[in-house]
Amino acid sequence: MLVNSKVLLEDAMKHNYAVAGINTTSLTMLRAVLEAAEEEGTPVILSHAQLHEPYAPIELMGPLMKAAAEKSTVPCSLHLDHGTTEAYIYKALSLGFTSVMADFARFSFEENVERTKKVADVCHEIHVTVEGDYGEMPSNVTGQGRALPEGESLEFFFTKPDKAARYVEQTGVDSLVVSFGSVHGIYIEEPKMDYERLGAIREAVPNTPLVMHGGSGLNEEDTRTCIDGGIRKINYYTYMACEPSKKLVQFISSSGKPPYFHEICEYSRELMKEKARYAIKLFQNRG
C-alpha cells in the first residue's frame, strides 16, 4: 500500500529501527526490492534519485513505482532522493510521490534554509513528507562526493548540532539527513563514524527522524550503533546495484548459449533481492 513516509518514520522512532530507503532504477530492481520487503513483511521506501534521470526518466519510473507500491502487501512510500532543483521536485509531486528530499546543501546555509522552506511549505499543503539536507560527504578519503578542501579535516563536512537545530526550526522539514562519517558510493577505506556528534545532533533535534545516506559499506555493528543513536532511515543502493556485475560474466559464459536479456535480468533480480533483503532485515535492528 502507498503511504506517506512520515508514518513509517514515526513508527521507526517509536520502535528503534530504521526504514530502508532503496533506489530502484529499473523494473528489475523495483521487483527485487518489493519482493524482498514483502517476503520480510517489512515497510520500505522506494526511491528515485534525480541524478538517475538520464537512464531512468522519472516520467517512466514514477508511475511504475507508484503502481507497484499501491499493490504491495507492505506499506511503501514513494520518495524522491536528492531532488536538487525545485522544478524536478515539483515534477515528482505531480507524479504522486509521497516524500521528497530537498537537496540544497551545495548552497550557503541561509540559501539552503530559504529554498528548503519554500519546498516544505508547498509539500505540507498536500501532505507530502520533506527530507532536508544539512551537511555533506567527502570523496577524496572514502566514497564519492565533493572533495575535501585542502587543509581541512573530515569534520569540515559534518553536520553541526547547533545549525541542525536552526535548520529544522526554520525550514519545518520532517526528517533530516546528517553527515557524521558515512559516504555515498563505494567505500575504499573503513569509515570512521563520529558517534559523539550523532548523539549531539539527536539531542539538538530530538523529535526529528535522522537519515543516513551511504548505508551500503557499513558493517553490521556500525549500522546498529547508528540506529541506536537515532538514525531512522538509511539509504541503500550501491552494493545491491553492483552485485550482479560480480557474477554476470560467469553466468553468461556458463549458459552454453548467449542468454536473452530477460534471462540476465531475472538472474540479476534474484541477486539484488538477496542484497535488499539483507539490508531490510539489518535495518530492522532486531538483534
Strand partners, 78: 46
Opening angle at CA 141, ends 79 and 219, nearest 5: 60
Query: Residue 109 in contact with residue 162, Cβ under 8 Å?
Result: no
Q: Angle at which helices 58-71 and 27-40 pack, to 10 degrees? A: 20
Q: Which three cell numbers stand for residue 148?
A: 575535501
List, in sequence order, every beta strand (DSSP E) within the chain.
19-23, 44-49, 76-83, 99-102, 129-133, 175-177, 210-212, 231-236
The full length of the chain comes to: 287
User: Which are the catalytic amino acids?
Assistant: 81
Q: Which amino acid is at 168?
A: V
List, in sequence order, every beta strand (DSSP E) within 16-116.
19-23, 44-49, 76-83, 99-102
